[in-house]
A = this chain, B = another copy of it.
């Protein structure tokens, strides 16, 4: 399976989890290629809205370009949503990370398993948060 397909499958998996939990969620069309800032997924319920950048990796750490993070942040701000990274490492559940909790790594931002386990929320914790 190629990388893009794996990414989309991961997004779909997360979307199913949102709907199962009573949230509405969908993939954004052309996310990553749009001329406008964009998240991978938009999810919401009556009280909260979340713009989510969704990553799956075989490694124990994942790097993000500043552009990717700025695009997510800028969409979230303009749309009126919380900005989150959802990340899945091998044999781990999804972690939800705040952008402020990412590590700086040269020109990139980074999340590794240790950081995700320390600062990340699992899906239930994420869903149970109060509205910002």
Listed in ascending order, the chain A residues whose CB lies under 8 Å from chain B are 15, 19, 22-31, 34, 36-38, 42-49, 75, 78-81
Contact = CB atoms under 8 A, between A and B. Distances in A.
A31 to B, nearest CB: 8
B19 A49 contact: no
Copy count, this protein chain: 2
A49 B38 CA distance: 16
Given A29-B30, A44-B49, 6 more contacts: A24-B75, A26-B28, A26-B36, A43-B79, A47-B80, A49-B49
Residue of A27, A48, A75 contacting most chain B CB atoms (<10 Å): A27
14 contacts: A23-B79, A26-B28, A26-B29, A26-B31, A26-B38, A26-B42, A29-B31, A43-B79, A44-B49, A45-B78, A45-B79, A46-B78, A46-B80, A47-B80
A75 to B, nearest CB: 6
